[in-house]
Amino acid sequence: MTVAKDEKSRPEAGGGRVPDPEGTRRNILEIASREFALNGLSGARIDEIAARTRFSKRMIYYYFGDKEGLYLRALEEAYRQVREGEAQLDIEGLPPVAALTRLVEFTFEHHHQHEDFIRMVMIENIHHGQYLKQSDAIRDLNVTAIDHISRIYSRGVAEGIFRPGLDPVELHWQVSALCFFNVSNRATFSMIFGRDFGAPEQLERLKKNTVEMMLRFVAKDDPSPA
């Protein structure tokens, strides 16, 4: 994957010089993410991505090197969005139970609102994470996610609310698993059981249940106050 870096040699679109390289990248990534989420890495076509943007294939290759380079950047962008959303949560001053509740609610809502993220992660799992492992950016982004939940959990343990001995990485795994499944398997569950698992009232119930399961999982066995 080779990405050109000399801005002086930046290609032109529509016969004029591109005035906003960052805007160009964002537009290409937005369209490319939808194409990859819909068709996967092998099924996505640079021709189709170019047709849906106002930029040429030449410009896409200039900024991202090749299709795999574009896919990796789209994957990084998908993770960046969820991690940035977590970082913007104002929960540091909340009690541990309220903080964990808000974090789980955010994850549930984000996954529901960003189905392309779920599809991108599913596609990367089909590839056994081979592209993700090339990205230092994704590893760094997910370190912040573990730090976030670890601080909440540590405060809960210190206050005698959460049981000790749990692994923050596994806590993150459990939250992700519960919220992820609600999107990844929504269509099949809806068809099999004849119920719309995407209906607003159903989503609210599922979100509430997800929060309750996580709170029960971390709760200290001794119900007496600290």
Reported as a single tens digit per residue, the pLDDT across 95-148 is 999 999 999 999 999 999 999 999 999 999 999 999 999 998 888 888 888 999
Q: Do 99 and 194 reside in the same domain of the chain?
A: yes
2 pLDDT band (50/70/90 cuts)?
Answer: very low
106 shares its domain with 148: yes
Residues in the chain: 226
Same domain, 135 and 185: yes
Q: Is 8's pLDDT higher than 90?
A: no
Q: What residue numbers bound the domain in which 185 lies?
A: 71-226
Same-domain status, 44 and 96: no
Q: Are 57 and 31 in contact (CB under 8 A)?
A: no
**155-166: string of b/e by CB count within 10 Å (b at 16+)?**
bbbeeebbeeeb
pTM over 0.85: no
CA torsion 123-124-128-130 (nearest 10°) is: 140
Higher pLDDT, 4 or 17: 17
Say whether both 119 and 213 belong to one domain. yes
First to last CA, the chain: 55
Q: What is the CATH number of the domain that holds 216?
A: 1.10.357.10
Give the total number of structural domains in the chain: 2
Do 114 and 176 share a structural domain?
A: yes
62 within 8 A of 10, measured Cβ to Cβ: yes
Give the CATH number for residue 46.
1.10.10.60
Contacts made by residues 112-116, CB under 8 angstroms, sequence distance 24+: 112/182, 112/183, 112/203, 114/78, 114/81, 114/82, 115/37, 115/183, 116/33, 116/34, 116/37, 116/78
d(CA 31, CA 71): 11
Co-location of 24 and 86 in the same domain: no
86 and 146 belong to one structural domain: yes
Helices 96-113 and 200-218 cross at an angle (nearest 10°) of: 140
Kind plus residue range of the DSSP H or E element containing 60 = helix 57-64
Phi-psi region of 20 (alpha: psi -120 to 50; beta: other; left: phi over 0): beta
pLDDT of residue 6: 41
Residues 60 and 95 in one domain: no
Judge if 46 and 140 occupy the same domain: no
149 and 48 in one domain?
no
